[in-house]
C-alpha cells in the first residue's frame, strides 16, 4: 500500500477507508503542494480500489485544518513576478493552473463515484471547508471551539477552490450564503448545520464511528444533486432572484466602496456561476481567482494581514538570545480607563494582576470595569459565569504598593503627567524585584524622558496600548535610549501572552501610530479651513477605506485633548511648530463653543439621545466660506489623506523610528485602520511604486503646500523606482532585522 507523508490511510473490514490528515512537525494541517499531490493520489486510490466502498476524511490534530498555506501563496507571488518579467502570457497561464489546482482535485473527489464523508473534528478554515463541501456528507461535533469559515475575503482574496460555487448552491437562503462569503465570519456548529453546510453534529468522541456508520448504512449518495440530470439550482432569473441580486450589488458597494477586488469577485462568481453548468462555473471561479491574485490589493493584504502579522505575532522582533519568560504576575498602576482594560486582558490571559490606584475606591472602580466587560462577554456568549469568576479572581484591586514585591512586570497607566508618573515610578521601584521590568503606557511623553525617574533605565520601556484595550489588537513597544534587550524580550513575551500584535518603535514624539493618525486629522482640519464641506471630508476618508472619518475620530479622541496636545507642543517647541489656523480652529471649538467631542455630546458631530444618530454639527458650515462641492476634486481629497499618512510612515522609517516595514504596514492597519486594502502605509507607496509616489507628492505639494514634499530618501529611491520592501527587506539577514536607513 502507498504511504504518504501527510496522511495515514486505513481501510477497515467494511471497506471504509479512514484518511487521517496529520502533517509531521506542524501544529496545524495546511494545504501545501505536497499535501495537494498526496490528496490527489489518495482520491485516485479510493476511486480505483474496488475493495473500498467509501472514505472518511478527518484530522489527527485537535483542529481539522487551517486551509491553504498562505506563506506558499506569498512565495507564488515572487515566482510569478519573476516569470512575468520573462513572458507575461505564460506566467499568467501558470498562475491560472496553480490557482485551480486545489479546486480540480476537489472536483475529482466529488465525481469519483465513491462517497466521501468529511469528519470535521475542530477548526476548519478556507480550503479545508472547501474540501469538506466537495465531500458527499459532513459531520461536525460538539467540541468546544468548533468552527468553520471561508475567511479568504479578509486577506483580499476569496474562496477560489469551489467555495464560491458550492455555498450558494448548498445554503437554502441565498442572503446568508452571500453574507458568509462576503464577511468570512466563523460559523459555530449549530449555525453551520442550520445553513446546511454540515449534515449533523455528533459527540466529538464518536465522530469517526458516526461517519463510518453513515457510509455503511448506504445513505451517502456519491453523486451530488448538481451532477444529476434535471438539476435545478437556485434561479437568478426568478421573482426572488430579481429582488435579491440588485441589492447584493448595492450592499457590496455600500460596505466596501468598491475597494476590495476579492469581495467583488464573490458577487460576480456567485451570480455568474448560478447561470452555468457546474464545471464551467468552477472555471469561471478559477479565472476570477487568477485575476484577483494579480491585484495589488490581494498581494499586499496577504502579505500584511497574514504573513507579516503571523511573523510579528510569533515574535519576529524579539531578541532571540534572551530566554522566554512566562509571566505569572503583573502590576498595573492606575485603575482608570486604560489601566482597567489592561488588567482585564492580562487576567484573561491567565496572569495574576495587582491593580493599584490612589485609594481602594479608585482601584475597585477599575475592577468593576473588568466585571462589566465580563458581563458583556457572557451576554454575547463569549464567556461563562465560571470563566468570568476565574478571570476576576485573578485581579487584586488595592492602593498598596507592597503587593508589587513579586511581580514580573509593572505597567503604568496613571495620568498623563510627568510628575505623577515620576512619583509612581519611584514608589513602585522601591518595592519591585530588581529584575522586574517597568513599562509606561504613555501616549505622548517620550520614554527616554520618563526613564529619568527610574533607577533602572535598562529595565524601563514603553508598552503603548490602544483604546478600547480589549478590542484593539495592536501594541507599540517603545524603546527608550537606554532600554535593554531583556526589557524588550519581557515586553514582547507579555504582549504575545495577551495575544496582541507587537510592533517595536524607537522613542519619538507620537511614536509611530499617533504620528500617522495626527496627519490624518490634521489634513481634515486643512480641508475644513479651505472650505471643503465637512460631509465631503468625512466621505472622502471613509470611501477611501478608512473605518472612521477623521472628524468622527477626533471626536472619539476628544477635542480638548487635541487642544492640550497643541498647547504642549507650543510649550515644548514654540508656536512655529504648529499651524496657526489649525490651532485657532480647535481653540475656537473647545474654548468658545464648549465642544469637547463625543464625551460631552458636542464635537464636530452632534450626539442626540438614542435612537437618533449622530450627525455633523450644522454650524461647521459657518466657520469658513464654503467651496462649491461640485468644483472639488473628490479623488484628490482621498489622495491627500493616503499620501500624508504614507509620507509620515516613510519618514518614521527614514528616521529609524520604525525599523521594519512589516511593522509600519501592520501597525497602520491594526492601530487605526489605515485603508486595509492597500496592505498598509508602506505597501500603499510600494503598490504604485516610489517613482509614481514621489510624482504624486510633488503634484500635491505644488497645489497644497510643503507638507506633501517627498523626503530625501524617497527621492533617492524614486530614481530607480526602488521599493521599500526591497531596500528594507525584512528577510535580508537571519535575524529578521531590516536594514537601517
Q: Which residues bind ligand NAD (CB under 6 A)?
A: 333-339, 356-358, 362, 413-416, 420, 423-424, 441-443, 465, 467
Q: Smallest distance from the beta carbon of 646 to ligand NAD, in angstroms?
A: 23
CB nearer to ligand NAD: give 334 or 603.
Answer: 334
To the nearest 10°, report the CA torsion of 417, 568, 596, 412: -20
Cα–Cα dist 464/187, whole Å: 33
By beta-carbon proximity to ligand NAD, the closer residue of 263 and 413 is 413
Q: How far apart are CA 243 and CA 175, in angstroms?
A: 11
For the chain, what's the residue count? 741
For cell 444618530, the residue is 613
> Is the preceding peptide bond at 677 cis, omega within 30 degrees of 0?
no
Output 672 or 708, the one with its CB closest to ligand NAD.
672
Nearest-approach distance from CB 499 to ligand NAD, in angstroms: 19
Task: Select the residue whose beta carbon is closest to ligand NAD and give its number.
Answer: 336
Between 335 and 349, CB nearer to ligand NAD? 335
- Closest approach of ligand NAD to the CB of residue 545, in Å: 23
The helix (H) or strand (E) run that includes residue 532 is: none
Q: Taking each helix axis from N to C terminus, what angle separates 261-273 and 239-256, rounded to the nearest 10 degrees?
A: 170
Minimum CB distance to ligand NAD smaller for 428 or for 675: 428
Nearest 5 degrees, angle CA 76-CA 79-CA 84? 120
Of 604, 587, 534, the C-alpha closest to 578 is 587
CB of 359 to ligand NAD, least distance (A): 8
Contacts of 136 (CB under 8 A, 6+ apart): 110, 115, 116, 117, 220, 221, 222, 224
3-state secondary structure of 223: coil
How many Å apart are CA 593 and CA 616, to the nearest integer?
15
- Non-local (6+) Cβ contacts of 71 within 8 A are 307
Least separation in angstroms between CB 509 and ligand NAD:
13
Tell me how far, at minimum, the Cβ of 361 lies from ligand NAD, in Å: 10
Q: Kindly report the CA angle at 369 between 365 and 370, in degrees rounded to 5? A: 120
* DSSP secondary structure code for residue 50 in this structure: T
Smaller CB separation from ligand NAD, 27 or 467: 467
Min dist. Cβ of residue 668 to ligand NAD (A): 17
Beta carbon of residue 423, minimum distance to ligand NAD (angstroms, whole number): 6
Burial class (CB in 10 A: 0-12, 13-18, 19+), 342: buried
CA distance 313 to 101: 30
Q: Determine which helix (DSSP H) or strand (DSSP E) holds 78, and give its type and residue range.
A: helix 70-86
**How near is the Cβ of 364 to ligand NAD at its closest, in Å?**
11
Minimum CB–partner distance for residue 339 and ligand NAD (Å): 6
Specify the residue, 443 or 645, whose C-beta has the smaller distance to ligand NAD. 443
- What is the nearest approach in angstroms of ligand NAD to the Cβ of residue 466? 6
* CB 510 within 8 Å of CB 319: no
Are the CB atoms for 429 and 438 separated by under 8 Å? yes
For residues 164 and 273, the answer to whether their CB atoms sit within 8 Å is yes
Nearer to ligand NAD, 311 or 476 (CB): 476
Which residue's C-alpha cell is 464573490? 266
Measured from the CB atom, the residue of 298 and 407 that comes closer to ligand NAD is 407
**Shortest Cβ distance from residue 92 to ligand NAD (Å)?**
47
CA–CA distance, 507 with 512 (Å, rounded to integer): 9
Closer to ligand NAD at the Cβ: 164 or 443?
Answer: 443
Nearer to ligand NAD, 252 or 465 (CB): 465
Nearer to ligand NAD, 141 or 441 (CB): 441
Work out how close the CB of 469 gets to ligand NAD at its nearest, in angstroms, rounded to a whole number. Answer: 8
Nearer to ligand NAD, 474 or 620 (CB): 474
Label residues 665-685 b or e (16+ Cβ within 10 Å = b).
bbbbbbbbebbbbbbbbbbbb
Query: What is each CA distance from 570 to 449, 493, 557, 576, 580, in whole angstroms?
Result: 18, 38, 20, 8, 11
Minimum CB distance to ligand NAD smaller for 37 or for 416: 416
Q: Cell 507575461 identifies what position?
A: 88
Are 691 and 664 in contact by the 8 Å Cβ rule? The answer is no
Shortest CB 117 distance to ligand NAD, Å: 50
Amino acid at each position: 500500500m502507498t504511504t504518504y507523508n501527510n496522511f495515514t490511510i486505513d481501510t477497515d473490514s467494511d471497506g471504509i477507508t479512514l484518511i487521517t490528515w496529520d502533517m509531521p512537525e506542524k501544529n496545524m494541517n495546511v494545504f501545501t503542494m505536497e499535501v495537494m499531490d498526496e490528496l490527489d493520489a489518495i482520491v485516485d486510490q479510493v476511486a480505483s480500489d474496488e475493495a473500498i466502498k467509501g472514505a472518511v476524511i478527518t484530522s489527527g490534530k485537535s483542529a481539522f485544518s487551517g486551509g491553504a498555506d498562505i506563506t506558499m501563496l506569498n512565495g507564488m507571488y515572487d515566482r510569478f513576478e519573476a516569470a512575468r518579467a520573462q513572458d507575461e502570457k505564460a506566467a499568467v497561464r501558470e498562475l491560472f493552473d496553480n490557482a485551480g489546482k486545489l479546486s480540480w482535485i476537489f472536483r475529482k473527489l466529488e465525481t469519483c463515484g465513491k462517497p466521501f464523508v468529511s469528519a470535521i473534528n475542530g477548526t476548519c478554515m478556507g480550503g479545508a471547508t472547501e474540501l469538506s463541501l466537495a465531500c458527499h456528507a459532513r459531520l461536525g461535533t460538539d467540541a468546544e471551539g468548533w468552527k468553520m469559515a471561508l475567511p479568504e475575503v479578509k486577506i483580499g482574496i476569496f474562496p477560489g477552490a469551489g467555495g464560491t460555487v458550492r455555498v450558494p448552491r448548498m445554503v437554502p437562503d441565498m442572503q446568508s450564503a452571500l453574507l458568509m462569503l462576503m464577511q468570512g465570519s466563523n460559523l459555530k456548529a449549530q449555525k453551520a448545520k442550520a445553513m446546511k453546510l454540515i449534515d449533523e453534529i455528533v459527540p466529538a468522541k464518536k465522530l469517526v464511528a458516526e461517519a463510518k456508520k453513515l457510509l455503511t448504512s448506504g445513505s451517502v449518495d456519491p453523486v451530488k444533486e448538481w451532477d444529476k440530470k434535471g438539476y435545478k439550482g437556485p434561479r437568478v432569473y426568478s421573482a426572488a432572484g430579481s429582488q435579491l441580486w440588485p441589492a447584493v450589488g448595492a450592499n457590496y458597494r455600500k460596505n466596501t466602496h468598491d475597494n476590495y477586488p476579492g469581495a467583488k469577485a464573490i458577487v460576480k462568481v456567485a451570480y455568474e456561476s448560478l447561470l452555468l453548468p457546474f464545471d464551467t462555473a468552477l472555471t469561471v471561479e478559477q479565472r476570477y481567482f487568477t485575476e484577483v491574485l494579480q491585484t495589488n490589493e490581494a498581494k499586499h493584504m496577504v502579505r500584511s494581514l497574514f504573513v507579516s502579522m503571523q511573523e510579528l505575532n510569533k515574535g519576529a522582533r524579539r531578541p532571540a538570545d534572551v530566554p522566554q519568560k512566562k509571566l505569572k504576575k503583573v502590576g498595573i498602576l492606575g485603575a482608570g480607563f486604560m489601566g482597567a482594560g489592561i488588567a482585564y486582558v492580562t487576567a484573561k490571559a491567565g496572569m495574576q494582576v495587582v491593580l493599584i490606584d490612589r485609594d481602594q475606591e479608585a482601584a475597585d472602580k477599575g475592577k468593576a470595569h473588568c466585571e462589566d466587560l465580563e458581563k458583556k462577554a457572557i451576554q454575547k456568549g463569549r464567556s461563562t459565569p465560571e470563566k468570568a469568576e476565574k478571570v476576576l479572581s485573578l485581579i487584586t484591586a488595592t492602593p498598596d504598593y507592597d503587593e508589587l514585591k513579586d511581580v514580573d512586570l509593572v505597567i503604568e497607566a496613571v495620568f498623563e503627567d510627568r510628575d505623577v508618573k515620576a512619583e509612581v515610578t519611584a514608589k513602585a521601584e522601591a518595592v519591585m524585584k530588581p529584575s522586574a521590568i517597568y513599562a509606561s503606557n504613555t501616549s505622548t511623553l517620550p520614554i527616554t524622558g520618563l526613564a529619568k525617574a527610574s533607577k533602572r533605565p535598562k529595565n524601563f520601556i514603553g508598552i503603548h496600548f490602544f483604546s478600547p484595550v480589549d478590542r484593539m489588537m495592536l501594541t507599540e513597544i517603545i524603546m527608550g535610549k537606554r532600554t535593554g534587550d531583556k526589557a524588550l524580550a519581557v515586553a514582547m513575551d507579555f504582549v504575545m501572552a495577551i495575544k496582541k500584535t507587537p510592533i517595536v518603535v524607537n522613542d519619538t514624539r507620537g511614536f509611530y501610530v499617533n504620528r500617522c493618525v495626527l496627519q490624518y486629522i490634521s489634513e481634515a482640519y486643512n480641508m475644513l479651513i479651505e472650505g471643503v464641506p465637512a460631509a465631503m471630508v468625512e466621505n472622502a476618508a471613509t470611501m477611501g477605506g478608512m473605518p472612521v472619518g477623521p472628524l468622527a475620530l477626533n471626536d472619539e479622541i476628544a477635542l480638548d485633548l487635541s487642544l492640550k496636545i497643541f498647547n504642549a507642543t507650543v510649550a515644548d517647541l514654540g508656536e512655529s511648530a504648529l499651524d496657526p489656523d489649525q490651532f485657532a480652529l480647535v481653540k475656537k471649538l473647545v474654548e468658545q463653543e464648549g465642544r469637547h467631542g463625543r464625551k460631552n455630546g458636542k464635537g464636530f458631530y452632534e450626539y442626540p439621545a438614542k435612537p437618533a444618530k449622530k450627525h455633523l454639527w450644522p454650524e461647521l458650515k459657518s466657520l469658513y466660506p464654503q467651496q462649491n462641492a461640485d468644483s472639488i476634486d473628490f479623488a484628490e481629497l482621498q489622495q491627500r489623506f493616503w499620501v500624508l499618512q504614507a509620507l509620515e510612515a516613510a519618514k518614521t522609517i527614514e528616521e529609524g523610528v520604525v525599523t521594519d516595514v512589516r511593522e509600519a504596514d501592520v501597525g497602520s492597519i491594526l492601530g487605526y485602520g489605515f485603508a486595509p486594502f492597500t496592505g498598509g502605509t508602506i505597501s500603499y507607496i510600494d503598490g504604485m511604486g516610489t517613482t509614481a509616489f514621489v510624482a504624486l507628492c510633488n503634484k500635491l505639494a505644488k497645489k497644497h503646500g510643503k507638507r506633501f514634499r517627498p523626503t530625501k530618501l524617497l527621492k533617492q529611491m524614486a530614481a530607480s523606482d526602488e521599493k521599500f520592501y526591497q531596500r528594507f527587506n525584512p528577510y535580508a539577514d537571519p535575524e529578521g532585522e531590516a536594514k537601517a536607513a
